[in-house]
Amino acid sequence: MESFLIKGGRPLCGEVTISGSKNAALPILAATLLTQEPCVIRRVPDLSDTRFMVQILQSLGATAKLENGTLTVCARKIKGFADYDLVRKMRGSICIAGPLLARLQRARISLPGGCIIGARPINLHLKGFQALGAKIKIEGGYVEAVTKKLRGATIFLGGRAGPTVLGTANVMMAATLAKGVTVIESAACEPEVVDLAKFLNAMGARIEGAGSPTITITGVSKLHGAEHEVIPDRIEAATFMIAAAATNGEVIIKGARADHLRAVIDKLNEARVTVETRGETLVVRRRGKLKAVDITTLPHSGFPTDVQAQMMALLLLAPGISIITERIFESRFMHVSELARLGADIEIEGPSAIVKGGKALSGAPVMASDLRASAALVIAGLAAKGTTQVNRIYHLDRGYEQMDAKLRKLGAHIRRIQEK
Q: Which of 74, 95, 115, 189 is catalytic?
A: 115
Q: What is the dihedral of CA 398, 328, 163, 256, to 10 degrees?
A: -50
Minimal CA–CA distance to 25: which of 407, 401, 403? Answer: 401
Give dist(CA 304, CA 133) in Å, integer.
Answer: 33
> In the bound complex, what is the minimum distance in angstroms from residue 69's beta carbon to ligand EPZ?
18
- Give residues with Cβ within 8 angstroms of 213, minimum separation 6: 163, 185, 186, 187, 189
Sheet arrangement for strand 142-146: 106-110, 142-146, 135-139
Cβ pair 12, 251 in contact under 8 A: yes
> In the bound complex, what is the minimum distance in angstroms from residue 401's beta carbon to ligand EPZ?
13
- Give residues with Cβ within 8 angstroms of 146, minimum separation 6: 105, 106, 134, 135, 137
> In the bound complex, what is the minimum distance in angstroms from residue 90's beta carbon to ligand EPZ?
9
Element (H, E) at 14: strand 13-17
Task: Please report the DSSP string for 93-117 in residue order.
Answer: GGGGHHHHHHHHSEEEEEPPP-BTT
> In the bound complex, what is the minimum distance in angstroms from residue 297's beta carbon to ligand EPZ?
9
Nearer to ligand EPZ, 121 or 225 (CB): 121
Provide the binding-site residues for ligand EPZ, judged by CB under 6 A. 23, 26, 91-92, 118, 120-125, 159-161, 164-167, 305-306, 328-329, 371-372, 399
> In the bound complex, what is the minimum distance in angstroms from residue 250's beta carbon to ligand EPZ?
27
Nearer to ligand EPZ, 318 or 371 (CB): 371
Is 189 a catalytic site residue? no
Minimal CA–CA distance to 396: which of 302, 301, 296, 309? Answer: 309
Catalytic residues: 115
